[in-house]
Structure 1
Amino acid sequence: MAYLESRKHVSPDSGYPVTLHPNFNAKINSWTPPDPPREEVTPPKDRALFADPSKRALFSIADPIDLTESIGTLLENVQLSQLSPQQLDELALLVAERGVVFFRDQDLTTEGQCRLFEHYGTLDTHPAQKDVKHVVIKGSQEDHREIAKYTPWPQGDWHADTSFEINPPSYSMLRMEEHPIVDGDTAWISQYGTFDALSPALQRFVETLHAAYTSRLQYDTILDLWNVGPNRPQSTHTTPPCARTP
C-alpha cells in the first residue's frame, strides 16, 4: 500500500495525517470530470406513498420477521422477481419504516435487478460508475480500516455513499452473490434508534448541530485507492439542525 497518496502525508510519530487541507490529494486539482455538475430536479412521487399501509398484498405472499426493535425485517418465502407493482410499492413503504429489508436465496440477475429498481424511478449513478447501471463491489484482501486511519477521514468506516448529492437516492439494493460463511464488514444502523438511546442532555445537544455533506471522501478513495477518476465535480451542501423527526 506504499503507492497510496495518503501514505505520503503521515506523521511517523502519531500515524495520522500531517494536514487536513481540502486539497490533501494533489490529484484532485488536476482531475477534470467528464460529466457536468448535477442540477436539482423534482422527482416523481415516491412509490411508498402509493402503498396500502397494511401491506396486505405483500404480506399475503411473504412472511415478515423483524430482526431488531428499530431496524431490519427479513421477508421469507418470496422472490423479488415475482412481485407485482402493488407489492413493490408496499415493499418501498416497508423499507421506509424498517430501514432495511433482507431476502434470501433470490433468483435475480443483474439485469433483472436493474429492471426491478426502475419501478422506483430514475436509477442513480455512483461517482465511480463507468457506462453501467450498477456498481460491482469486489472482494479484497486489503484491510481498508487500517488504510483509512492514514487519511484525513480516519472515521470513514461509517458513511453514506451519496448523501452529498443534490438529489440523493431514496433506496439502494445490495445483492450478494458470494460472501463469507461468517463475519462481514457491512452493518445497518437506525439513526432514530440511536437517537432514542441517547440521554436527554445529549439529545438536546445533537438537535443544535448542523451537518456538512461533501464528496471529498469519494474523491480521495476513487482517485487514490481505485486509481480511476470520478465522473462528476465535487459537491458540498449543508443540512438544517439535526432535529428529530416525529
Structure 2
Amino acid sequence: MADVRSTLEAYKHISPDSGHPIIIHPKFNPKINNWNPPDPVREEVQPPKDRALFADPEKKALFSVAKRIDLTESIGTLLENVQLSQLNEQQLDELALLVSERGVVYFRDQDLTTDTQVKLFEHYGILDKHPAQKEVRHVTIKGSNSDYRRDSVYTPWPQAGWHADTSFEINPPSYSMLRMEEHPEVGGDTAWVSQYGLFDALSSTYQKLFESLHAIHTSRLQYDTILDLWGVGPNRPPIDTHHPAVITHPVTGLKAFNVNEGFVTGFAELKKAESDKLLEFANFHIHSADDHLVRWKWAVGSVAMWDNRAVIHRVIPGKYKAGSRRGVRTTVFGEKPYFDPKSESRDAREERLAEENQNGNGVHAEAHTNGNGVKPTNGANGATEPNGVDIPGRKGSDVSGN
C-alpha cells in the first residue's frame, strides 16, 4: 500500500544527513503557490429561520414514533425504531430541536440514499459547500489510516484535531448529517464533545475571560494541507474570521465554548505569547473533557446529525484498510455567530430552574422568564436573534442531559 505522505512536496526533498523529508514553507511549495481557486471568498448570507424554532418543545410527534436513549448525561442521544425517510415536517423540526439540545443524535439501519438525504436536509436550510467539495449537494467523507502524528511534522493543519465543520466561514454550518455507506468492522469511530459542557467546566474567571475575546478561525492551514497532502484544489481562497470565543446558541439561548484546535490559531485581543498560552490551555481543556464526550461506533446505514454550534468532533485515527470507510455528509448554513452577555450557561439554567421550582413549582419563574423557564435572549443587534425572529421559550427544554 502506498504511503499517503509520499504525495507531500517535502518527500521530494530528502535530507542527505537524516534521511527524512525537509519541511517546505508554503510560500515555496509549488502545489500551493500555483493553485488559483475558481470561486471567490464568501460573503455573509442570511439563512432562513432555524427549523428548531418551529418545534414543539416536548417533541411529542417525534417521540411518538421513536424510542429515545440518551448515551451520556451531557451529550448524545440514540433514536431507535424510526426511519428518517418517514419523518414529516413537524417531526423533522422536533429532531432539530433535540439535536440543538443534545448536540448529536444517532440512528441505525437507515434506508436513506444520497438523493433522499439531500432532500431531507434541504428542509433545514440552504445547503453549504465545503471548500474541498466537488459535488454540489454533499461532500464525501473518507477515513485515513495514515499516521497523523507523523503527518503533522510536514503539514500545518491538525487533521485529527477537534473541530466544528468549517468554523472559519462567516456563516459556519448549523446542522450537519453524516450517513455511512462503507465502514470497517473495527476502527473509524467519531467522537463529539459538548460545547455547552466545555463552557460549564471552566471556572467563572476563565468564563469571563473567554467571553471577552474573539477567536481567530482560519482556513489557511487546511487549505495548504488539502493541496499538498490530498492533492485536491480548494474551491475558495483561504480566509480568517474573528468569531466570539463564547457564543449564544440561537435556539437554546445557552452559552457555548467556540474554540477548537482544528481551525482556531489564537485570540484577536491578545499578544502573541498570551494568545499561544491561552490556546494551549483551551486545547488541553477540550482533550480532558471526558465527562462531556460521546464516541460513536459506525456501521453501514448509520446516521449522525449534529449541531456545529453546540459540539465539536473528530474522527478517531486507526489502522483499518484504506478505502474501507466512506460516508456522505450534508450541511446547511447557520447564522453569523454572536454572543449575548444576557444569555446563561447550561449549569446556570439548571440551577435557576431548580430554585424556581422550589419557590412554587415555577410560579416565580413567570416574573422574568415568561413562565417557560427560558429567559429571552438577544441577538447580535438587540431584542431578536440574528434572523430577526424572537426566540420562543421552551418549557421542558432538554439541555440538561437527563
**Bin of the TM-score, shorter chain as denominator length:** 0.7 to 0.9
Q: d(CA) in 2 for partners of 1:95 and 1:232?
A: 29
Contact 1:212–1:237 (8 Å) recurs in 2: yes
The percent identity for this pair of structures is 70
Q: d(CA) in 1 for partners of 2:200 and 2:21?
A: 33
Residues 1:112 and 2:147 are matched in the alignment: no
Residues 1:99 and 2:103 are matched in the alignment: yes
Match of 1:70, SS state, is coil
Q: Which residue of 2 aligns with 1:138?
A: 142
Q: d(CA) in 1 for partners of 2:14 and 2:74?
A: 40
- Matched ranges for 1:1-246 at <5 A: 1-5=5-9, 23=27, 25-154=29-158, 157-242=161-246, 245=255, 246=344
Q: d(CA) in 2 for partners of 1:16 and 1:156?
A: 21
Match of 1:2, SS state, is helix
Aligned CA distance change for structure 1 residues 23 and 90 (closer, same or farther; 3 Å)? farther
Contact 1:16–1:151 (8 Å) recurs in 2: no
Give the Å deviation of 1:189: 0.6
Match of 2:246, SS state, is coil
Match of 2:174, SS state, is coil
Q: Deviations over 1:13-61 (max 9, x none)?
A: 9x99968x77475533332111122121111111110001110100000
Q: d(CA) in 2 for partners of 1:140 and 1:71?
A: 26
Q: d(CA) in 1 for partners of 2:163 and 2:148?
A: 14
Deviates more, 1:91-100 or 1:169-178: 169-178
Give the Å deviation of 1:216: 1.0
Q: d(CA) in 2 for partners of 1:22 and 1:238?
A: 23
Q: d(CA) in 1 for partners of 2:227 and 2:132?
A: 10
Q: Which runs of 5+ in 1 are unaligned?
A: none
Amino acid at match of 1:98: R
Aligned CA distance change for structure 1 residues 199 and 167 (closer, same or farther; 3 Å)? closer
Contact 2:132–2:226 (8 Å) recurs in 1: yes
Q: d(CA) in 1 for partners of 2:122 and 2:181?
A: 21
Q: d(CA) in 1 for partners of 2:241 and 2:13?
A: 27
Contact 2:166–2:172 (8 Å) recurs in 1: yes
- Structure of higher CA gyration radius: 2
Q: d(CA) in 1 for partners of 2:175 and 2:12?
A: 37
Normalised to the residue count of structure 1, the TM-score between the two structures is: 0.86
Deviates more, 1:225-234 or 1:21-30: 21-30
Q: d(CA) in 1 for partners of 2:22 and 2:247?
A: 33
Contact 1:6–1:224 (8 Å) recurs in 2: no
Q: d(CA) in 2 for partners of 1:138 and 1:243?
A: 30
Aligned CA distance change for structure 1 residues 236 and 93 (closer, same or farther; 3 Å)? same
Give the Å deviation of 1:82: 0.2
Amino acid at match of 1:62: A
Aligned CA distance change for structure 1 residues 65 and 106 (closer, same or farther; 3 Å)? same
Amino acid at match of 2:107: F
Aligned CA distance change for structure 1 residues 213 and 68 (closer, same or farther; 3 Å)? same
Give the Å deviation of 1:144: 3.1
Contact 1:75–1:102 (8 Å) recurs in 2: yes
Give the Å deviation of 1:81: 0.2
Amino acid at match of 1:41: V
Contact 1:10–1:150 (8 Å) recurs in 2: no
Q: d(CA) in 1 for partners of 2:179 and 2:7?
A: 31
Q: Which runs of 5+ in 2 are unaligned?
A: 249-254, 256-343, 345-402
Q: d(CA) in 2 for partners of 1:100 and 1:43?
A: 21
Aligned CA distance change for structure 1 residues 17 and 101 (closer, same or farther; 3 Å)? farther
- How much is the aligned-residue C-alpha RMSD, in angstroms? 2.8
Contact 1:41–1:167 (8 Å) recurs in 2: yes
Aligned CA distance change for structure 1 residues 141 and 52 (closer, same or farther; 3 Å)? same
Give the Å deviation of 1:224: 1.2
User: What is the aligned residue count?
Assistant: 244
Deviates more, 1:130-139 or 1:79-88: 130-139
